[in-house]
Amino acid sequence: MIRITRQTDYGIILLAYLAGRPADEVRTARDVATSFHLPLPMVSKIMKTLARGGILSSHRGVKGGYSLARNPETITVGDVIEVLEGPIAMTECASTPGSCETEKLCPVRGNWLRISVAVREALERIPLTEMVAPRSPGLLTLAGPGPGGC
């Protein structure tokens, strides 16, 4: 099974929360951790990593904390995953060419590359603003929106 880590799941939750707040609002890691009943050390680590990755801005001082560094419509789920997890790829050779000694002879490598690109492109089409408005799990399909725009 392919899964994102808990850290990335929490990161997307935290960013969706910030995306739903006023753009100029600065929140501390403690505020956000308390809001979601998450461990402060993990929230601090996630927010620092997202700031280093250019998704959050860090503000120092008494009224310091974090805010989104960009418009939430321009931050994609793919961006967040890449900052917190690394390159989006189904296999090691799809993200790091030359990492596998059988790469040149592999009969399926080209297809793994195609699949990796498709997954990455799908994640890059989902902006943070869509993560703020939850969808019903039963209405999500790979074919796109269903009746009623869901």
30 & 66 share domain = yes
1, part of any domain: yes
Distance CA 81, CA 117 (A): 14
Q: How confident is the model over 58-108, as pLDDT tens digits?
A: 999 888 899 999 999 999 999 999 999 998 888 887 777 777 788 888 888
145, part of any domain: no
What is the percentage of the chain residues whose pLDDT exceeds 70?
A: 88
Indicate the pTM of the whole model.
0.81
pLDDT over 60 (residue 144): no
Confidence band, pLDDT 50/70/90 cuts, at residue 134: low
142, part of any domain: no
Quote the domain boundaries for residue 35: 1-74
Residue 59 neighbours by CB under 8 Å, 6+ apart: 26, 65, 66, 67
Contact 69, 54 (CB under 8 A): yes
CATH number at 12 reads 1.10.10.10
pLDDT of residue 147: 44
Contact 80, 12 (CB under 8 A): yes
- DSSP letter assigned to residue 51: H
Counted domains in the chain: 2
Q: How confident is the model over 9-34, as pLDDT tens digits?
A: 999 999 999 998 888 899 999 999 99
Distance CA 125, CA 123 (A): 5
